[in-house]
Amino acid sequence: MIKRIETLTFTPTTREIAQEFCDMGGDEQAEIFNEIAIISKGWPSPFCFQAQSITDSKKLTDDGRKIMSVIGEYSSKQP
């Protein structure tokens, strides 16, 4: 019997990543932000520089900017 192991390499599109995020529940989405915080701690510049880069991007639409704003509004810890 011949056995073959193949490795598949692919890069998900931004739409696929966004869809996966949207399909998650709140706890899973919170874990994503926690992981971003962990990963970005190792960056040479603080995460705020990345956030600025996103807001400066010509690809960010008004709808995308609104989503970022809503996340900001709701992200402060509730009493």
Tell me the per-residue pLDDT of 17-68, one tens digit each, with 9 for 90 and over.
Answer: 999 999 999 999 999 999 999 999 999 999 999 999 999 999 999 999 999 9
Residue in this structure with the two tokens 């008004």, named with its chain if needed: 62
E-state strands within the chain? none
68 vs 29: CA distance, rounded Å: 14
Residue spans per domain, the chain: 37-74
Residue 32 and residue 24 in contact, taking contact as beta carbons nearer than 8 Å: yes
Please indicate, yes or no, whether the overall pTM of this predicted structure exceeds 0.75: yes
Six-digit token string for 2 = 């011949």
